[in-house]
């Protein structure tokens, strides 16, 4: 646990008692603060009481006695409209923060700063690839024997990690919900993978969404920034952060285009990762045979992780060996099975059209399972990738909308993931890939994308007669 600094003897309201909220309560108490915990959900309140967290109804709070309000990431504080408790705190002039802000406020202590090699924080944000990039960085550093922890939007809550030891690296995955509200953002290395439309209602549009991501760099002031420049926003931000074209504090990364110039550039083309510094190639890695990193989108993730590892002093060949042993993450281009010449891939994390496009580009002769709670635009943007799709099997709330958008392309409305998987398996031929890449949220039929992915795995195993 990371005890929260700066609030000893003061009341701090905590809104939202999920994983991060409960961890915040315990970390505040460990730092001597008095947490006032609340959640509008009776179930969440019951779980908190079972953990010994005292509840305080924030609708009755005396805000003049509260030093700060700490909100969980999923609670809206501005768009589409502020939560009523957050609105009351803001009206009373009470600062609003989140657990990420508390973490950066509390991570550095007198003990850590006295170490010969103080611990470092790597923070990863972007629209797609955050989780894989974060896990790959953690995997590489662990393989190199360096102490490392992974937290944030993946794995452990940031305040629940073990206090770091000398030379340790903490790798955080940060969503736009987390970067937007945090009052402190001070990573040593910050990574921006890419940007595509997502969560636009929460951020008041694309500009607000980009601004939330950009805060990690503009306000965080990292010692080194790793920036994906395949979209205009990333290219713009890299230009803003660099003092000159040769400024090596900014590492530009790309998947699909060669990056030129006198700076520090890392890119992947045709399955090969190349590192250039001062206009000269210094390293190359063959990514094609790495089973945990299929497709161009994962090659971008590899570029980002490689850049971080190089920034921390690792040699190219050592990084390559570590990458080769990376098996990937569950529900992210996960190879579930291969039988009868057919591959079964679980990419349930592909919850929007852009991430689904990356999955479709990674395979050929696809029997595509898609659908769920569709987002703005549905799958119209995926028309250019349908030449790889033999047939689509549509599920969930958006199944019929997706069917209309597919037009004459072969498709079948199956409603449930079990029906869709069974139909795809029955029709699959040698050389086909049965791919779950929903291009939609899961909340119509499942509590989260993990549950949806697990249902697909179970359906594949049942179809293959496995348990």
Specify whether 261 is located in the same domain as 112: yes
Residue 5 lies inside a defined structural domain of this protein: no
Q: What is the pLDDT of residues 409-423, one digit of tens each?
A: 999 999 899 999 999
Residue 132 marked in a binding site: yes
Residue 127 marked in a binding site: yes
Specify whether 293 is located in the same domain as 240: yes
Q: The domain that contains 256 carries what CATH number? A: 3.40.1190.10
Specify whether 130 is catalytic: yes
Q: For residue 416, what are its two tokens?
A: 């449930």
Any idea which residue has 């923070």 for tokens?
Answer: 123
Domain endpoint, select from 58, 82, 97: 97
Catalytic residue selected from 153, 265, 346, 352:
153
Domain endpoint, select from 70, 97, 124: 97
d(CA 289, CA 4): 45
Specify whether 372 is located in the same domain as 399: yes
pLDDT of residue 198: 80
Residue 272 lies inside a defined structural domain of this protein: yes
Residue 355 lies inside a defined structural domain of this protein: yes
Domain endpoint, select from 275, 303, 324: 324
Specify whether 134 is located in the same domain as 251: yes
Q: The domain that contains 358 carries what CATH number? A: 3.90.190.20
Specify whether 312 is located in the same domain as 435: no
Residue 126 marked in a binding site: yes
Q: Give the residue numbers spanning the domain of 64.
A: 11-97
Residue 2 lies inside a defined structural domain of this protein: no
Specify whether 87 is located in the same domain as 141: no
* Structural domain count of the chain: 3
Q: CB-hemisphere CA count at 13 Å for 420?
A: 30
Residue 281, φ and ψ in degrees, nearest 5: -75, 130
Residue 329 lies inside a defined structural domain of this protein: no
Residue 36 lies inside a defined structural domain of this protein: yes
Specify whether 93 is located in the same domain as 108: no
Decide if pLDDT at 117 tops 80.
yes
Specify whether 121 is located in the same domain as 194: yes
Catalytic residue selected from 26, 77, 120, 130:
130
Specify whether 214 is located in the same domain as 80: no
d(CA 25, CA 126): 28
Specify whether 260 is located in the same domain as 216: yes
Specify whether 274 is located in the same domain as 402: no
Mean pLDDT of 172-198: 95
pLDDT of residue 443: 93
Decide if pLDDT at 462 tops 80.
yes
Q: For residue 185, what are its two tokens?
A: 């953002």
Residue 130 marked in a binding site: yes
Residue 3 lies inside a defined structural domain of this protein: no
Instruction: State the Rg of the chain over Cα.
Output: 23
Q: What is the pLDDT of residues 350-370, one digit of tens each?
A: 998 988 998 999 899 999 999
Specify whether 346 is catalytic: no
Residue 131 marked in a binding site: yes
Specify whether 378 is located in the same domain as 239: no
């Amino acid at each position: 646990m990371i005890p929260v600094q700066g609030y000893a003897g003061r009341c701090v309201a905590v809104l939202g008692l999920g994983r991060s909220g409960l961890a915040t309560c315990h970390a505040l108490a460990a730092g001597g603060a008095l947490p006032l915990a609340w959640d509008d959900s009776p179930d969440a309140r019951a779980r908190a009481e079972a953990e010994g967290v005292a509840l305080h109804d924030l609708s009755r709070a005396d805000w003049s006695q509260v030093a700060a309000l700490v909100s969980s990431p999923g609670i809206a504080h501005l768009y589409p409209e502020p939560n009523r408790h957050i609105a009351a705190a803001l009206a009373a002039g009470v600062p609003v923060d989140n657990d990420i802000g508390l973490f950066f406020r509390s991570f550095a202590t007198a003990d850590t700063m006295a170490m010969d090699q103080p611990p470092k924080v790597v923070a990863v944000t972007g629209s797609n690839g955050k989780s894989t990039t974060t896990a790959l960085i953690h995997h590489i550093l662990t393989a190199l024997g360096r102490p490392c922890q992974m937290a944030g939007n993946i794995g452990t809550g940031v305040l629940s990690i073990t206090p770091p030891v000398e030379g340790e690296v903490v790798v955080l995955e940060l969503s736009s919900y987390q970067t937007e509200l945090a009052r402190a953002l001070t990573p040593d290395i910050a990574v921006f993978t890419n940007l595509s439309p997502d969560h636009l209602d929460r951020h008041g549009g694309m500009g607000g969404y980009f601004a939330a991501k950009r805060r990690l760099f503009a306000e965080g002031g990292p010692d080194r920034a790793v920036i994906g420049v395949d979209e205009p926003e990333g290219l713009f931000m890299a230009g803003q952060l660099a003092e000159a074209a040769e400024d090596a504090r900014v590492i530009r990364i790309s998947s699909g285009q060669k990056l030129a110039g006198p700076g520090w550039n890392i890119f992947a083309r045709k399955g090969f990762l190349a590192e250039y510094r001062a206009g000269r190639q210094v390293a190359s890695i063959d990514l094609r045979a790495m089973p945990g990193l299929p497709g161009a989108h994962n090659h971008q993730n590899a570029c980002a992780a490689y850049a971080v590892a190089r920034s921390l002093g690792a040699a190219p060949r050592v990084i390559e060996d570590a990458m080769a042993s990376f098996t990937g993450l569950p529900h992210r281009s996960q190879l579930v099975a291969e039988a009868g010449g057919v591959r079964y891939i679980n990419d349930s994390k592909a919850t929007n059209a852009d991430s689904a496009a990356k999955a479709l580009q990674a395979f050929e002769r696809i029997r595509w399972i898609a659908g769920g709670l569709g987002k703005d635009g549905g799958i119209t943007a995926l028309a250019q990738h349908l030449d790889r799709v033999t047939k689509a099997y549509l599920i969930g709330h958006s199944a019929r909308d997706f069917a209309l958008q597919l037009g004459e392309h072969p498709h079948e409305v199956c409603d449930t993931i079990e029906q869709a998987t069974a139909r795809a398996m029955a029709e699959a031929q040698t050389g086909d890939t049965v791919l779950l890449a929903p291009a939609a949220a899961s909340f119509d039929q499942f509590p989260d994308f993990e549950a949806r992915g697990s249902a697909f795995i179970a359906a594949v195993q049942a179809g293959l007669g496995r348990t």
